[in-house]
Structure 1
């Protein structure tokens, strides 16, 4: 397997490290993050949402070089702020860009040096060579042409199957989406300047309407979506698990029973493991830790007219996204 490196130990980067350590302990060859090692080790060990790491995580400095001890395996830890200055080990071919700072192609390509051939951005990118949601458009990924790859967003990964299953079963004439979304680190804990004046307000004191990067990613991944497909994100004062609300006008008539049957069939068929059904009477905390892209809440399915419908899906915005990212990079590491 190709040597894999990671830049950025934020929310998703740390969950990716945990997942790789538990499932493919030899896959990760190096990590970079500017923060001090002791802080990074502490945040890898303990998480306020997902609990303590199940695998042992330690830090070690030897000969002036920091290392992470992940499940007993030594992984070099670098602290460069500029991707072009990260001394990833020889043989590194694939880098996961998870810092949140280098989402544009011109910035992400700074990793493409010293043998690194491909970069996967763990966020939407406005100009990546390819935006992939593997079950929907993975077959179009061409590693000879696509060197900077975006893994879209957590909301896009949840919404894409909701739309695709509807479209395959009934056809889509019009569609829109809103997401009830947890707070993120791109909001202010207390009122403080921000280019988005709503995100400038205290995150835990209001419902904060804002934009979502998922819409651009979804249009890139699903070019046959209705052109006007759009919506809004409502940031709410919780820490984990989002609820996606899709409203659509279908090409063919369907009642709630037919809609639910389509999702139940998908769960048992081609979408198994990626889409599941939420438990009855679910609330957001029931979904924490679930690795599926989306869990459909069939209790909430609505028909507002013969072809006008509303469906709802929950997703653990961190665990589910990290799972899809892990699957993608492990698959690519076998090919690049």
Structure 2
């Protein structure tokens, strides 16, 4: 497109705000333009939380509050406060893509409400309930080239899927995967309370997020199979929430079809970063999770934690900023999708 791609954000929580912040630090900032935000919260709070963020710091620019808009570095972004997609005048706003970041919509008939209300295209910040709930599920760097431009509803998958799919793809292509078991160690999320309370149907999520390690359900295995169908029936996953604000990790146990040493695995993974520039990174320093806060990569492979045990068994450790990396992939998919319509 000759003009900047017009984006609107529906849901201005952790991911919505990170998407906006990430754009102002991204090389895509001249190609993409956020023209509207729909968020039920009041404008003054939206402006404040855009300027000051406990995880990612103070916004590196000027944020002002207009009558019905945020003014960021002198540019107005229209703001509405609707709770339903039908209550927003999307036609007047005229976005090319709506980034659905509220986390409320994962079934096709729910996402279709945005289309029926005048949105030409919707990029959803979570997986669809099934593959048929969206026109495509995209992990940037893996299958974004399959976008035709005719899609109306696209899923950006999940932060964990974006982190693990390139790694599993490399392992499967190089050695073949018989089985994989993935354990996600995920930072706390806003579906958990600070203190015990009636917060969720999952009883574990009624417990204080900051006092316990909390196992939760995950659809990561299904997400892997959706993107890498050759691994169908070979992947199991579980997730554990840990009491930190941001940055997560995936402990990867795989049974490969052949024996491999840790140095051979690390050499492959180090080389793979060249095939996924800006998406995969590699390090063998003695890291703690805070080292990856505000890191835009989908995944950082920690070579110091690679282990093998004969008979094709291998263990890897993958770090990722579950907010910032995923927000950057929302922008990447928006940019490549817009090139096709």
TM range (shorter): over 0.9
Q: Between Structure 1 and Structure 2, how many residues are aligned?
A: 330
Counterpart of 1:165 in structure 2 is: 170
Q: Name stretches of at least 5 consecutive residues in structure 2 with no aligned partner.
A: none
Question: What CA deviation, in whole Å up to 9, does each residue of 1:189-218 have, x standing for no partner?
Answer: 211232111111111111111112322222
Which of residues 114, 121, 125 in structure 1 aligns to 2:124? 121
Give 1:92 deviation, angstroms: 2.2
> Structure 1 residues 56 and 334 mapped into 2: Cα distance closer, same or farther (>3 Å)?
farther
- Aligned pairs for 1:17-96 (under 5 A) are 17-23=20-26, 24=29, 27-61=33-67, 66-88=68-90, 89-96=92-99
Q: How far apart are the structure 1 equivalents of 2:112 and 2:97?
A: 12
Give 1:55 deviation, angstroms: 1.7
TM-score (norm 1): 0.94
Q: How far apart are the structure 2 equivalents of 1:115 and 1:93?
A: 11
Counterpart of 1:4 in structure 2 is: 7
Q: Is structure 2 residue 294 aligned with structure 1 residue 292?
A: no
Counterpart of 1:109 in structure 2 is: 112
TM-score (norm 2): 0.92
Kept after mapping to 2: 8 A contact 1:277/1:298: yes
Q: Name stretches of at least 5 consecutive residues in structure 1 with no aligned partner.
A: none
Q: How far apart are the structure 1 equivalents of 2:325 and 2:69?
A: 28
Question: What CA deviation, in whole Å up to 9, does each residue of 1:29-59 have, x standing for no partner?
Answer: 2111111000101111111111010021111
Kept after mapping to 2: 8 A contact 1:156/1:217: yes
| Cα RMSD, aligned residues only | 1.6
Q: How far apart are the structure 2 equivalents of 1:151 and 1:36?
A: 27
Q: How far apart are the structure 1 equivalents of 2:60 and 2:82?
A: 28
Q: Is structure 2 residue 306 aligned with structure 1 residue 304?
A: no
Kept after mapping to 2: 8 A contact 1:172/1:251: yes
> Structure 1 residues 262 and 166 mapped into 2: Cα distance closer, same or farther (>3 Å)?
same
Q: Is structure 2 residue 183 aligned with structure 1 residue 181?
A: no
Q: How far apart are the structure 1 equivalents of 2:325 and 2:164?
A: 12
Kept after mapping to 2: 8 A contact 1:92/1:115: no
Q: How far apart are the structure 2 equivalents of 1:115 and 1:180?
A: 39
Bigger mean CA deviation after superposition, 22-31 or 303-312 = 22-31
Q: Is structure 2 residue 240 aligned with structure 1 residue 234?
A: yes
